[in-house]
Amino acid sequence: TQLLEQSPQFLSIQEGENLTVYCNSSSVFSSLQWYRQEPGEGPVLLVTVVTGGEVKKLKRLTFQFGDARKDSSLHITAAQPGDTGLYLCAGSGRQNFVFGPGTRLSVLP
Protein backbone atom coordinates (compact mmCIF):
# COMPACT_ATOMS: atom_id res chain seq x y z
CA THR A 1 0.00 0.00 0.00
CA GLN A 2 1.38 3.37 -1.01
CA LEU A 3 1.20 6.03 1.69
CA LEU A 4 2.05 9.71 1.68
CA GLU A 5 2.98 11.69 4.76
CA GLN A 6 2.92 15.46 4.96
CA SER A 7 4.59 17.77 7.42
CA PRO A 8 3.94 19.89 9.25
CA GLN A 9 0.30 19.10 9.83
CA PHE A 10 -0.46 22.70 10.81
CA LEU A 11 1.45 25.91 10.15
CA SER A 12 0.57 29.42 11.21
CA ILE A 13 2.82 32.25 10.06
CA GLN A 14 2.82 36.01 9.61
CA GLU A 15 2.40 37.65 6.24
CA GLY A 16 5.73 38.06 4.48
CA GLU A 17 7.42 35.00 5.99
CA ASN A 18 8.77 32.09 3.98
CA LEU A 19 7.76 28.48 4.54
CA THR A 20 8.35 24.97 3.29
CA VAL A 21 6.02 22.01 3.54
CA TYR A 22 6.99 18.43 2.82
CA CYS A 23 5.47 15.35 1.28
CA ASN A 24 7.20 12.01 1.85
CA SER A 25 6.69 8.38 0.95
CA SER A 26 8.56 5.11 0.91
CA SER A 27 7.07 4.41 -2.52
CA VAL A 28 8.09 5.65 -5.94
CA PHE A 29 5.50 7.60 -7.89
CA SER A 30 5.35 8.26 -11.60
CA SER A 31 4.30 11.82 -10.81
CA LEU A 32 3.22 13.94 -7.91
CA GLN A 33 0.63 16.67 -7.72
CA TRP A 34 0.13 19.53 -5.29
CA TYR A 35 -3.35 20.87 -4.64
CA ARG A 36 -4.72 23.72 -2.54
CA GLN A 37 -8.14 23.40 -1.01
CA GLU A 38 -10.15 26.22 0.52
CA PRO A 39 -13.08 25.68 2.87
CA GLY A 40 -16.19 24.51 1.08
CA GLU A 41 -14.40 23.83 -2.19
CA GLY A 42 -12.74 20.91 -3.90
CA PRO A 43 -8.95 20.69 -4.22
CA VAL A 44 -7.51 22.84 -7.01
CA LEU A 45 -4.48 21.54 -8.89
CA LEU A 46 -1.39 23.74 -8.50
CA VAL A 47 1.32 21.75 -10.23
CA THR A 48 2.36 18.33 -11.46
CA VAL A 49 5.97 17.18 -11.22
CA VAL A 50 7.07 14.17 -13.21
CA THR A 51 10.85 13.96 -13.44
CA GLY A 52 13.10 13.17 -10.47
CA GLY A 53 14.85 16.35 -9.34
CA GLU A 54 12.40 18.53 -11.24
CA VAL A 55 11.80 22.06 -9.96
CA LYS A 56 8.77 24.10 -10.98
CA LYS A 57 7.94 27.66 -10.05
CA LEU A 58 4.50 29.21 -9.92
CA LYS A 59 4.90 32.87 -8.94
CA ARG A 60 5.93 32.74 -5.25
CA LEU A 61 5.56 28.95 -5.04
CA THR A 62 8.46 26.59 -5.78
CA PHE A 63 7.84 22.87 -6.09
CA GLN A 64 10.54 20.21 -6.11
CA PHE A 65 10.33 16.49 -6.82
CA GLY A 66 12.93 14.34 -5.11
CA ASP A 67 15.57 12.61 -7.20
CA ALA A 68 14.14 9.21 -6.30
CA ARG A 69 10.56 10.39 -6.96
CA LYS A 70 9.51 9.47 -3.42
CA ASP A 71 9.20 12.94 -1.93
CA SER A 72 8.42 16.53 -2.75
CA SER A 73 8.53 19.96 -1.19
CA LEU A 74 6.58 23.16 -1.62
CA HIS A 75 8.27 26.43 -0.73
CA ILE A 76 6.31 29.68 -0.49
CA THR A 77 8.16 32.96 -0.50
CA ALA A 78 6.69 36.02 1.18
CA ALA A 79 3.46 34.31 2.15
CA GLN A 80 0.22 36.27 1.84
CA PRO A 81 -3.16 35.78 3.55
CA GLY A 82 -4.50 34.52 0.22
CA ASP A 83 -2.17 31.53 0.52
CA THR A 84 -4.20 30.26 3.45
CA GLY A 85 -5.65 26.82 2.83
CA LEU A 86 -5.11 23.08 2.97
CA TYR A 87 -2.17 21.95 0.85
CA LEU A 88 -2.46 18.39 -0.36
CA CYS A 89 0.06 16.28 -2.19
CA ALA A 90 -1.04 13.31 -4.26
CA GLY A 91 1.12 10.62 -5.76
CA SER A 92 0.23 9.06 -9.05
CA GLY A 93 1.11 5.49 -9.84
CA ARG A 94 -0.30 3.15 -12.37
CA GLN A 95 -4.08 3.59 -12.32
CA ASN A 96 -4.02 5.03 -8.83
CA PHE A 97 -3.86 8.30 -6.90
CA VAL A 98 -2.87 8.45 -3.25
CA PHE A 99 -3.40 11.60 -1.19
CA GLY A 100 -1.51 12.79 1.82
CA PRO A 101 -3.39 14.13 4.88
CA GLY A 102 -2.51 17.72 4.02
CA THR A 103 -0.83 20.70 5.65
CA ARG A 104 -3.19 23.35 6.90
CA LEU A 105 -1.57 26.75 6.38
CA SER A 106 -2.77 29.94 7.99
CA VAL A 107 -1.15 33.23 6.98
CA LEU A 108 -1.97 36.03 9.36
CA PRO A 109 -2.05 39.65 8.15
Partner 1 sequence: EAGVVQSPRYKIIEKKQPVAFWCNPISGHNTLYWYRQNLGQGPELLIRYENEEAVDDSQLPKDRFSAERLKGVDSTLKIQPAELGDSAVYLCASSLVGPSGYSYEQYFGPGTRLTVT
Binding site for partner 1 (CB under 8 A): 30-31, 33, 35, 40-45, 48, 50, 88, 90, 92, 94-97, 99-102, 104
Which CB contacts under 8 angstroms, 24+ apart, belong to 68-71? 68/28, 69/28, 69/29, 69/30, 69/32, 70/24, 70/25, 70/26, 70/27, 70/28, 70/29, 71/22, 71/23, 71/24, 71/25
* Least distance between partner 1 and beta carbon 30 (Å): 6
CB 24, min distance to partner 1, A:
14
Q: How far is the CB of 5 from partner 1 (least distance, A)?
A: 11
Rank residues 8 and 16 by Cβ distance to partner 1 and give the closer one: 8
Could you give the CA distance from residue 91 to residue 24 in angstroms, rounded to a whole number?
Answer: 10
- Least Å distance, CB 82 to partner 1, is 19
φ, ψ of residue 14 to 5 degrees: the values are -90, 150
Which C-beta is closer to partner 1: that of 60 or that of 97? Answer: 97
- Identify which of residues 66 and 102 has a Cβ nearer to partner 1 in the complex: 102
